[in-house]
Amino acid sequence: MTSKLDRLNEWVADVARLTRPAVIHWCDGSDAESAALREQMLADGTLIELNQQTHPGSYLHRSHPDDVARVEHLTFVCTPEREDAGPNNHWMAPADAHARIDALFDGCMQGRTMYVIPYCMGPIDSPLSRCGVEITDSPYVVANMRIMTRMGVPALARIEREGSFVKGLHSIGELDPERRLIMHFPEELAIKSYGSGYGGNALLGKKCHALRIASHQARQEGWLAEHMLILGIENPQGQTHYIAAAFPSACGKTNLAMLIPPEGYRRDGWKVWTIGDDICWMRPGADGRLYAINPEAGFFGVAPGTSAKSNANALASIQSNTIFTNVGITADQQPWWEGIDNGLAPVTDWRGEPFDSAKRPAAHPNSRFTVSAKQCPSYSDMAEDAQGVPISAIVFGGRRASLVPLVFEARDWTHGVLVGAAMGSETTAAATGAVGVMRRDPMAMKPFCGYNFADYFGHWLSFDQPGAQLPKVFHVNWFRKGENGKFLWPGFGDNLRVLEWMIQRVEGRAAATETPIGHLPTADDLNLDGVALSDEARETLFGFEHAGWQAEFAGIGEYLAEYGPRLPQALLDEQRRIAAALA
């Protein structure tokens, strides 16, 4: 009698023949398994115990100094036709890619344990969820996947029921940057990653599965897999609106997802609920609205800059049962990073050397924390809702020091897709390369879309069907700077003022001024009680710079032209319509 697990068992056997591990361990996700792995990692130095009085159940991991971020230049999408991967991805033919990376995998697990991790992305009983299996030789990956996914026995049971899963094969290899590759095979629903132990390259459920492979699945099956946070905003009347928002890495997704309302709003009874801080899967419901789940079960957040002021909820989340990666430590073994502002000082840096600020920061700029979402004070039980939450608004945003106002609303869905497609942001430390360079990052998916962006834009446009109740689309820019180079908008909790205006627009209750780029509020359209904005800030944050936008739309036209004849005509028409209005 054949079992639906036969395909999985055969694949595991094939991988074992290739990698030749000493032991094969099927992960069940139990507390006992987790404790045994932790003891093993403490014994061999993979983990360092932190102060168990101040941070119970928390540990530090130091990765190889050459292995601290995503490596986009070594990340490939392997489709039979180069055009299907698109100019937004590095491409390799599948046969060549398998041959090249399998040569690295050959015998790589000798003397090591091969861990088989069945996992589910999303609530275990949700029709929107999808399963995968990661094979790895890294116990650190097992520990992180246990936090970040629904891992173990229930996931294996769902795989047995459905018979389908994403195959992920990972080895840390020799951690040699010259022997490092991350390969995606969308048609095969497969991922192969070699030579890196860093989160985004090694936790294959995260960006590799939940975005690159899932975006391909979503296109085939009629849904969206997006690099977005999901938050709920509850008004004093007890009604909750859910918002999905896309920002490039290290542009404040986690801060917005865990936002604490300003004092006046808290007094009036406003609440913010966290559904997810990084990835959002959306599907049309029977009522025509888009419903979203967070496929992850935890947060893999950037540590530097996280403080009681910037994100009190994130700081509260990581006081226990947290894996810290590449942070500094204090004299009494507490985790420390730049911007924590807790009155303590680091003695050891992220490389394990005595801290010397002239040499390097205490924490790597892309150092991380991994923690269960359920530890967040603003966590919502709706994160486990099998049907997902209905999305009222989609927000795009990036880091723009000039030109882009605080907020504007797209005229309609097609305009909203153009707003997302044209999104630009200044680069951050989450990816290797220069920091502070403006690059187009459509829907914050440039490093993560598993197929040609031209087809992806077409897929977004396809949701505008008769009967669809699509969310309104907005663009925000928290990072506008004044003449003195300082930020003009206070940000953090005060961002709720902008979200409140969006909700009022969704409900048809707020005013806006029409411009060629969309609907802009004036300063009077927002509740700015208690916010001291200078005349320059008011003029700049709510202003519209005609000449600057003419140049911007010329640049957007040139950018879209890079996608050639596959680009949807509707998007080109929209760009030309706005460019003509600006002229």
Q: Which long-range contacts (CB under 8 A, 24 or more apart) does 457-460 make?
A: 457/417, 457/421, 457/563, 457/567, 457/568, 457/571, 458/566, 458/568, 459/218, 459/219, 459/224, 460/224, 460/417, 460/420
Instruction: Name every residue whose Cβ is closer than 8 Å to that of residue 103 and which is 6 or more positions away in sequence.
Output: none
Query: How many beta carbons lie within 10 A of that of residue 337, not counting itself?
Result: 26
Three-class DSSP labels, 34-85: HHHHHHHHHHHCCCEECCCCCCCCCEEECCCCCCCCECHHHEEECCCCHHHH
Indicate if 251 belongs to the active site.
yes
Amino acid (1-letter code) at residue 44: D
Which of 452, 24, 407, 21 shows the shortest CA–CA distance to 243? 407
- Give strand ranges (E) for 362-405: 368-372, 389-397
Catalytic residue among 251, 280, 376, 449: 251
Question: Please, which residues have CB within 8 angstroms of residue 114's CB and are 6 or more apart in sequence?
Answer: 15, 16, 19, 21, 23, 24, 25, 135, 136, 137
Token pair of 434 as six digits: 């220069």
564: helix, strand or coil = helix
At what angle are helices 546-561 and 569-582 packed, to 10 degrees?
160
Torsional sign, CA 457, 459, 460, 461: positive
Do the Cβ atoms of 298 and 147 come closer than 8 Å? yes
User: Which run of H or of E encompasses 109?
Assistant: none
Query: 3-class SS at 26?
Result: strand
What CA–CA distances, in Å, run from 30 to 33, 37, 199, 208?
5, 11, 22, 25
- H-helix or E-strand containing 229? strand 229-234
Alpha-carbon distance of 500 to 497, in angstroms, equals 5
How many other β-carbons are positioned within 10 Å of the β-carbon of residue 230? Answer: 29
Active site residues: 251
